[in-house]
Structure 1
């Protein structure tokens, strides 16, 4: 079991929260944990607002669904800014977000994504946006924990797919 846990731990790279110009929520979270983590960081005073990315899903942008979910959980709509887009990968999403951040004079962010996605997402955000100060925050995923990922089919799929994507990212493919 220790070997299985050790195999998952390199996927996760989290920083301590620090003051930043904005929090950025990556798309792809069907559970709402990313937006809630970012909203909590804003509520705690680390950032003045949360930029919510999201591609099209069921004829609307995911960011719209996500922000509505957070509002339903008691967070003020004024905390959020939508960034609707047509990204189809973390690579394209981080490039698009970087363009937005540069255009709006943002120099530092708290990048919020699922725990298993933190290392790859931070790598791509930093690589594509030199000069941007990035601290990555992991939101809990209900199906992925380094200590138990092998116990569920969804955890197994998440582990394997994230490792494939991590290797592909490092190879530039």
Structure 2
């Protein structure tokens, strides 16, 4: 039997694993911890999503609805009609659309649209929604806003709007779509992908806001890369 010579590397002579095995184990452990952390965060994110629409507990000075999901605008107008706010801002309306386009989708709301509704056509994403809502609220001296958006979008909307206007009280009204009511989210691949995408955007928004708190403002003039937006749909489509 061949005996190891004095020139053999100690680790090979003793039958030890290659030196890279320790690094590989560290990488695997780090990835596993990261996966568990992201999965746990996703569970916490899901726990924030309401499964039913709950009327606001109190009135506010104004109401802001962020376009982009089914029945958001109609629900916001119902809140306005019920007296939950004095005025309504519809943020994210397509530049080519006006109040008449929305009124065709909501024919019973023409009087409210003509007297108490403002349209924001400049916002193209959640971050600019927050900036326009801040400008609108400050111009009117509002100190409280009801925020209307879809339940899956609400956590990120509140993060962005709280950061943009910490001096204004925000009261969430989460819109729950028919698909969410009819089928559990885990039974629909499309809904699951939507939630994963929204969770990634929520994490990006949280990270940017927290870094801004330490004086490290990222992308001060735009939205994070996960929120790059293509063309918006017309407001008439969004109101359906």
- Residue 160 of structure 1 is matched in structure 2 by 196
- Residue 167 of structure 2 is matched in structure 1 by 131
Q: Which 10-residue stretch deviates more, 43-52 or 12-21?
A: 12-21
Which string of whole-angstrom CA distances, capped at 9 and with x for unpartnered residues, describes residues 80-127 of structure 1? 423232322201111122112111212111110011111111121111
Mark the CA change 1:64 to 1:95 in structure 2 (over 3 Å): closer, same or farther. Answer: farther
- Residue 47 of structure 2 is matched in structure 1 by 9
Structure 2 residues not aligned, in runs of 5+: 1-39, 209-223, 225-240
Q: How do 1:61-140 and structure 2 match up within 5 A?
A: 61=97, 65-70=101-106, 72=107, 74-79=108-113, 80-140=116-176
Quick one: distance in 2 between partners of 1:170 and 1:6? 14
Does the Cα contact within 8 Å between 2:130 and 2:160 map onto a contact in 1? yes
Structure of higher RCO (CA pairs closer than 8 Å, 6+ residues apart) = 1
Which structure: greater strand fraction? 1
Q: 2:64 aligns with which of 21, 24, 37?
A: 24
- Residue 78 of structure 2 is matched in structure 1 by 40
- Larger radius of gyration between Structure 1 and Structure 2: 2
- Residue 142 of structure 1 is matched in structure 2 by 178
Quick one: distance in 2 between partners of 1:148 and 1:155? 9
- TM-score by structure 2 length? 0.59
Does the Cα contact within 8 Å between 2:144 and 2:169 map onto a contact in 1? yes
Does the Cα contact within 8 Å between 1:11 and 1:120 map onto a contact in 2? no
- TM-score by structure 1 length? 0.79
Q: Which 10-residue stretch deviates more, 7-16 or 149-158?
A: 7-16
Quick one: distance in 2 between partners of 1:68 and 1:82? 16
- Equivalent pairs counted in the alignment come to 165
Mark the CA change 1:64 to 1:110 in structure 2 (over 3 Å): closer, same or farther. Answer: farther
Does the Cα contact within 8 Å between 1:34 and 1:112 map onto a contact in 2? yes
**Could you say what the CA RMSD is over the residues aligned between the two structures, in angstroms?**
3.0
Quick one: distance in 2 between partners of 1:108 and 1:21? 5
